[in-house]
Structure 1
Amino acid sequence: MSANTNRNNEIKNQLHQRNKHKFRYNFPELIASCPDLLKFVSLNPFNDLSIDFKNPDAVKTLNKALLNHFYGISLWDIPAGYLCPPIPGRADYIHYIADLLASTHEGVIPLGNTVKVLDIGVGANCIYPLIGNREYGWTFVGSETDPLAIRSAKNIIDANSLSTYITIRKQSSTAHIFTGLIKPGELFTITMCNPPFHASLKEATAGTERKWENLGQKSKAGGTLNFGGTNAELWCEGGEERFVIQMIKESADFAQSCQWFTSLISKKDTLQGCYRTLDRVKVKDVKVINMAQGQKISRILAWTFTEPIPS
């Protein structure tokens, strides 16, 4: 089957209908869940309660409050300089892959620990496993190459008594994604990944500069952004296109190990090279799921080597 299947999904202009963050933040409720947030909350120029999103400490504390209030994650922290993820967008990825799994499960989202998810590049924040387990009861394996990120993710898991549901594995080779990670005979329901976006440190730094300008502020020394991010989190040689194409190529060697493979795609132009590679490895079905958070448009690329179930 050609990889042209389902490429023209309608773009959605809002967060997923099951996303707990569809509406404006209720700061009094969030402060009740995380009193440390109080010192960062004030009235903005529109006379609404908000935080200064240019302040990395405020952003991280908001994340702590959201995770505690909505997902019961009472202890969460990340090392200085590591990516502090925007939780609403991360939750969207989880909800959309839940819909994807439902599409081959008689329209019903599969729940519980029989659903096994592989999160490529789980990061120090461990955000996808936390949300996915709390929302759907899924189990997760998170892969990571960075020792400090591994230690941080494990600390979060242990602090919230989630080691039964979430495990972290070190990917020893930066040249591989699935190879050396998926064990012989191991089966996953779905994989997910938020690949490094930029193709070089220079490109990543320029992107950081633009985001600071959009926030109405000059960048800090070293290009640090309010949500942080280490080099490995922000860029890799060849950017997301090369990374995802490598992922597609390796997925062919694990065609029987996973029902669905997925990755976030930030740049629409990335898709064409991915389509060509998907055709070459002879996948059975491809889906593109469009997502939107405000003005930011992104998409999930999903593929499978399993014959699609007739609707």
Structure 2
Amino acid sequence: MALNQFMHPRNIYRTPPDFVKLFKEFEDFSTIAKMDVTGKVSIDFKDTRALRVLTKCLLKSDFDLDVVIPEDRLVPTLPLRLNYILWIEDLMISINKEYITGLDIGTGACAIYPLLAAKKNNWHMVGTEKDEDSLKMASDNVERNNLQHLIKLKKNTTASLVEHLFMEDNGMRFEFCMCNPPFYSNIQEVLDSRSPARKICLPKNAFTGSPQELITEGGELEFCRNLIKESAKFKDHILIFTTMIGHKYNMKELLLDLRAEGIKHTTTEFCQGRVTRWGIAWTYQNYDLYNLVPPRDKPRKKSIPITFVVPEISNLPYDVKHMVEKVQQLFDSLNIQYKIITKRRNETVLNFYAITNTWTNQRRKRRLLKKLEETMSKKQKCENHHECETSTSDLSIDEKSNIDTACNTVLTDKTDTETKDIGKPIVQGILKVSNKEKTVVFEMEYLEGSAGKEVRKATKGKMSEDSAENLTVKKRPKPNSKSEDSKPSKTGKTTEVETDPAVLQRRQKQIDYGKNTVGYHNYIKEVPIETRGKEDPKTPDKYTKYSRRSWDAQIKLWRIKLHKYDPNATSKTEDVESIKCEYDYESD
């Protein structure tokens, strides 16, 4: 869903750009746009050249800025950059500042923020940049637009973010600083962010940017924490510190840091297209930012953390450290990826991400493994010790193989398979383990992911379609019969069709239990469908109308026949015959 309606109220791009107008005014735009027979103009947002040309044309059309965007550098998203500038305007208005000087940390090759601020608001801007090539291209863009009197660019040759400026000139003062930090800590995170596995609200735009613009040591969380540390040292040189945040869980951690230090702050959301970013502003001055510029809350469903108090167990350590170790062991056993993003004395926060569903049917697997252990223990108690050992050693490999195959079949159920086909992430969330009033508390918050919900819906839909199809096939009414829910049987009797959804669901559940057994998997492996006879186990037809007692008898008969294919199968002929009699009686 597009988020244009949640843009800043003064953002001109709340109304989408007029592509027809751009098509007529700019020759470059006409080369990357297509006009259909109705006169509608569209572009391919997956094409990096199309994005570059669109941004350049919009800057010229809406702001009279002539900007060259290098092919190997980040293409700035104009609605997002304008959202940030407009929020800064709100902050400056709230503290009654008219003559404004701002600092852009890491201005980039386009120097987009200084150009917009200077052209739109006549602000004085200073931009810093570490990359020599980006600094040169930014200088060219400033000179091309004759804004040298408002914009100054400086190279940062140190590891600091703002300290280097005041080492050169301690008398410099700024009303605000702004920053769009690199989001990622390594190249793998960059690749994962554009992975096909992340199909929930993926950006439609093409991916642009150079490594120095996208990657920083420790990612944006460490970058912003360093900015907060330096801000305490230079709190009298910059009135309001601001930064953009790309990952929501990083924003929550930074807010915890600010609250822990008692620093006054406020937040906002930058909404545009299908992408949301966040902004944080903080100050050490006597400004109540939260009330002056309150957070803009977009009306959306908020995720409420799931809280669980861990009970204390005697003779076991009861603290955050050991609980986190247990959680890590559990995540490792389930192949769930995790990363510790905050580690304090009484609090640890983990960001976890599951690629596939590895936790369903764990109970069923434990039952099968327990059954294997019981089977092996019984065999060891045979009367003939030597014969028993021989048979056990001969059968144990096959039995273990059968059990393992069954377990794997059970674990790799339809949900997991269909999830891989759909390609959506299972779940991503935040787990906070903290010590509150001498008790260990787990707080887990959902961030994104299907968690199997869409798959279950798809499965239910497929089951409904199958049910409808089967009912269509089953419903063959007797000629000249008034009832459509019946069919003629071989004996001449009319067989009614079961249509009650609750009954069909209950029957399907009983059938699933039978099919998820070791005996059933051995049976379908040993007896191909084309060679099965009348005496072989046959899955009961859930669509035929039976009494409850008659149906349960059929299930019991079917399950007993399947037991013959269990590793520890024993003869149960008498039980089968008794069930047959009961079934025949109920069928009459």
Q: Which TM-score band (shorter chain)?
A: 0.7 to 0.9
Matched, 1:235 2:235: no
Matched, 1:290 2:269: yes
Contact 1:288 1:301 (8 Å CA) reproduced: yes
Residues in 1 aligned to 2:224 and 2:56: alpha-carbon distance in whole angstroms: 30
Matched, 1:121 2:121: no
Matched, 1:86 2:77: yes
Contact 1:119 1:143 (8 Å CA) reproduced: yes
Partner of 1:6: none
Amino acid in structure 1 at the alignment position of 2:272: Q
TM superposition shift of 1:208: 3.3
Q: Which moved more, 1:128-137 or 1:138-147?
A: 128-137
Partner of 1:15: 7
Matched, 1:199 2:179: no
Distance 1:212 1:227, change over 3 A: farther
TM superposition shift of 1:48: 3.5
Question: SS where residue 123 of structure 1 aligns?
Answer: coil
Partner of 2:324: none
Contact 2:251 2:278 (8 Å CA) reproduced: no
Task: Choose from 5, 15, 20 the match for 1:28.
Answer: 20
Contact 1:33 1:65 (8 Å CA) reproduced: no
Contact 2:85 2:117 (8 Å CA) reproduced: yes
Structure 2 length-normalised TM: 0.46
Amino acid in structure 1 at the alignment position of 2:183: F
Amino acid in structure 2 at the alignment position of 1:191: C
Partner of 1:221: none
Matched, 1:177 2:161: yes
Residues in 2 aligned to 1:306 and 1:191: alpha-carbon distance in whole angstroms: 14
TM superposition shift of 1:142: 0.6
Structure 1 length-normalised TM: 0.84
- Which is helix-richer, 1 or 2? 2
Residues in 2 aligned to 1:56 and 1:198: alpha-carbon distance in whole angstroms: 21
1:123-162 matches, within 5 Å, as 123-162=108-147
Amino acid in structure 2 at the alignment position of 1:193: C
Write out per-residue CA displacement over residues 35-74 of structure 1, whole angstroms, 9 at most, x where no aligned residue: 211111114799731211111111111111101011111x
1:276-287 matches, within 5 Å, as 276-279=256-259, 281-283=261-263, 285-287=264-266
Distance 1:31 1:134, change over 3 A: farther
Question: SS where residue 255 of structure 2 aligns?
Answer: helix
Residues in 1 aligned to 2:229 and 2:44: alpha-carbon distance in whole angstroms: 42
Matched, 1:189 2:168: no
Distance 1:307 1:215, change over 3 A: closer
Question: SS where residue 289 of structure 1 aligns?
Answer: strand
Contact 2:109 2:138 (8 Å CA) reproduced: yes
Residues in 1 aligned to 2:31 and 2:273: alpha-carbon distance in whole angstroms: 26
Contact 2:107 2:127 (8 Å CA) reproduced: yes
Structure 2 segments unaligned to the other structure (5+ residues): 293-588
Distance 1:95 1:180, change over 3 A: same
Residues in 1 aligned to 2:108 and 2:131: alpha-carbon distance in whole angstroms: 8
Partner of 1:96: 87
Task: Choose from 209, 230, 235 the match for 1:250.
Answer: 230
TM superposition shift of 1:212: 10
Partner of 2:149: 164
Residues in 2 aligned to 1:170 and 1:116: alpha-carbon distance in whole angstroms: 18
- RCO higher in 1 or 2 (8 Å CA, sep ≥ 6)? 1
Rg bigger for which structure?
A: 2
Residues in 2 aligned to 1:44 and 1:24: alpha-carbon distance in whole angstroms: 18
Contact 2:266 2:281 (8 Å CA) reproduced: yes
Distance 1:194 1:210, change over 3 A: farther
Write out per-residue CA displacement over residues 118-176 of structure 1, whole angstroms, 9 at most, x where no aligned residue: 00110001111111122211111111000000000000000110101111110111x21
Residues in 1 aligned to 2:149 and 2:283: alpha-carbon distance in whole angstroms: 28
Q: Which moved more, 1:12-21 or 1:257-266?
A: 12-21
TM superposition shift of 1:271: 2.4
TM superposition shift of 1:251: 0.8
How many residues are matched?
284
Question: SS where residue 181 of structure 1 aligns?
Answer: helix
Distance 1:45 1:211, change over 3 A: farther
* RMSD of aligned residue pairs (Cα, Å): 2.5
Amino acid in structure 1 at the alignment position of 2:235: A
Q: What percent identity do the matched residue pairs reach?
A: 30
Amino acid in structure 1 at the alignment position of 2:14: K
Distance 1:29 1:46, change over 3 A: closer
Contact 2:5 2:14 (8 Å CA) reproduced: no
